[in-house]
Amino acid sequence: MTTCTRKLEFDAGHRLLGHESLCAHNHGHRYVAEVTCEAPLDSVGRVIDFSAIKAKAGDWIAEHWDHATIANANDLVYLTALEAMGEDRVYRLDGNPTAENIAAELLSVARLLLAPIRVVKIRLWETPNCWVDVE
């Protein structure tokens, strides 16, 4: 079976509730997500057109995460502060918005958006030197 991967980039802020160091503070990243799909080749000879990944998963990212805050739904102090500042681009995640949890969320969303194409992996770069893979 053949795979193909599309890279999607976005900027988002977060903090990690209960983190032992600097990530406990509000900060942001230039995330890079790699969405890897697998399927039998179509009549054109592709797994999926790269533009379809961008149109579906990329548009979802732009709507929900780009220039937004990804927050732990249980971090009520943070959510209250964001609301008091008038921040309306807040995505509530079940659990801390770690790279691992953000990648897992994107895997779930991309699988729904790109079906019947199989999304087999999300690689999420949090920094140029740090990434996670979720399969």
Query: So which residues are the catalytic ones?
Result: 23, 67, 126
Phi/psi at 20 (5° precision): -85, -5
Q: Read off the tokens for 38.
A: 């697998």
CA dihedral 24, 101, 55, 45 (to 10 degrees): 140
Q: Cα 109 from chain centroid?
A: 9
Cα–Cα distance list, 119 to 4, 73, 89, 109, 116 (Å): 10, 26, 26, 10, 9
